[in-house]
Amino acid sequence: MTEKIEDIARALVAPGKGILAADESSGTIKKRFDKINTVSTEDSRRDYREMLFRSTDAMKNYVSGVILYDETIRQKAKDGSTLVSIMQAVGSIPGIKVDMGAKALAGPTAAIETVTEGLDGLRERLAEYHKLGARFAKWRAVITIADGLPTWNCVKANSHALARYAALCQEAGIVPIVEPEILMDGDHSSHDINECYRVTEWTLRSVFRELYDARVNLEGIILKPNMIVAGQKCKTQPSAAEVAEKTVKCLKATVPSSVPGIAFLSGGQSDELATEHLSRMNAIGGLPWALTFSYGRALQAAALSAWGGKTENVAAGQLAFAHRAKMNSLAALGKWDAKQEKAA
């Protein structure tokens, strides 16, 4: 495989392919396992992720890359081969979450606002991850909309950290996924779609200004934004057509065409809506960048519940995962419709 970051970035957003975000921290995966009454141990986390990565056809045809957690990139499958080698064997690129989480942003808004940490020692960690096979990375910044928030201080601090992370990744020969997430869920999610648009536009402008200042090569990044949606607690929910139209409009206003691809997070949308929104955007057409998925929950929820922590359900879990991967692949081509959901 080519080692040029521009080529890796393009491969991640190849037509009909997208990214599987399987980088839940041990705390987050425990919450997901609690819901299916499964104890989270190093072995159960390995078994679950091995099930996904061994969904050979889905991985080969629809999943360009997988974002891993530190534990997973070092883990071995039951037969002794590394999980990394299993995905590499089907042509899927290993990636790694490198941020150390969103921490309270010191100051008057510390109860709500966060800044993502993890820059100290990052150069050395990236060098090690590259040796372990990672060719792309992820750093997630979190922006919360609330009364009078976000502050410029929060937008600026997170944009600056994203740019420093991205420059370090490129120095290491690793494609940075630049992920500024405007939250749609949580306690403060009563904002409407227009407020999401305003804050996303503001944040993306700030992020690209910082990337420019840090001399990041935009042809060697992937942007991972939220879609333009209403907060989960907002009484007025937009149609899928409105989400698609406003998301494309916002991205066209802010994302340079030298960026090869945009891979959305699902953020708490239902599986099917995350798919429908992506398909509608691609159906609009005439876009300068590839638009695809980098979903965590919207790719895994069905597989998790079909598996339920039981070895005898591995085939059912893989079937559920393959189905969602295929639906999202169709969406990345603008060719999904509800009938295909039922047909499968």
- Give me the active site residues, please: 179, 224
Q: Which residue bears the tokens 């890796």? A: 8
What CA–CA distance (Å, rounded) separates 183 from 90? Answer: 33
The verdict on 228 binding ligand 13P (CB under 6 A) reads no
Residue 297 Cβ vs ligand 13P, minimum distance, rounded to whole Å? 3
String of contacts with ligand 13P for each residue 265-284, x by CB under 6 A: xxx-----------------
Q: Closer CB to ligand 13P, residue 45 or residue 140?
A: 140
* Min separation Cβ 141 and ligand 13P, Å: 10
> How far is the first Cα of the chain from the last one, in angstroms, to the nearest whole number?
33
**HEC profile of the chain:** CCCCHHHHHHHHCCCCCEEEECCCCHHHHHHHHHHCCCCCCHHHHHHHHHHHHCCHHHHHHHEEEEEECHHHHCCECCCCCEHHHHHHHCCCEEEEECCCCEEECCCCCCCCCEEECCCCCHHHHHHHHHHCCCCEEEEEEEECCECCECCHHHHHHHHHHHHHHHHHHHHCCCEEEEEEEECCCCCCCCCCHHHHHHHHHHHHHHHHHHHHHCCCCHHHCEECCCCCCCCCCCCCCCCHHHHHHHHHHHHHHHCCCCCCEEEECCCCCCHHHHHHHHHHHHHHCCCCCEEEEEECHHHHHHHHHHHCCCHHHHHHHHHHHHHHHHHHHHHHCCCCCHHHHHHC
In the bound state with ligand 13P, the residue whose beta carbon lies nearer, of 229 and 244, is 229
By CB under 6 A, tell whether 140 contacts ligand 13P: yes
Q: Nearest distance from residue 118's CB to ligand 13P, in Å?
A: 13
Rank residues 103 and 312 by Cβ distance to ligand 13P and give the closer one: 103
Q: Name which of 30 and 107 has its Cβ closer to ligand 13P.
A: 30
Count of residues that bind ligand 13P according to CB under 6 A: 10
Residue showing the smallest CB distance to ligand 13P in the complex: 296
| Candidate ranges 98-106, 144-152, 198-206, 295-303; the one touching ligand 13P (CB under 6 A) | 295-303
Q: How far is the CB of 239 from ligand 13P (least distance, A)?
A: 21
Minimum distance, C-beta of residue 267 to ligand 13P, in the bound complex (Å): 4
Considering the complex, state which of residue 246 and residue 297 has its C-beta at the smaller distance from ligand 13P. Answer: 297
Interface with ligand 13P in residues 174-213 (CB under 6 A):
179
Task: Kindly state whether residue 295 participates in binding ligand 13P, applying the rule CB under 6 A.
Answer: yes
Answer positive or negative: Cα dihedral of 182, 185, 188, 189. positive
The contact pattern for ligand 13P, residues 247-266, with x = CB under 6 A and - = no contact, is ------------------xx
Least separation in angstroms between CB 23 and ligand 13P: 6
Contact pick of 17, 160, 297, 324 for ligand 13P (by CB under 6 A): 297
Q: Which residues pair with 103 in a beta bridge?
A: 115
Contact status: 296 vs ligand 13P (CB under 6 A): yes
Choosing from 115, 175, 298, 303, the residue that interacts with ligand 13P (CB under 6 A) is 298
Q: Of the two residues 36 and 127, which places its CB atom closer to ligand 13P in the complex?
A: 36
State yes or no: residue 21 binds ligand 13P (CB under 6 A).
yes
Burial class (CB in 10 A: 0-12, 13-18, 19+), 343: exposed
**Cβ closer to ligand 13P: 137 or 218?**
137
- Which residues form the interface with ligand 13P (CB under 6 A)? 21, 140, 179, 265-267, 295-298
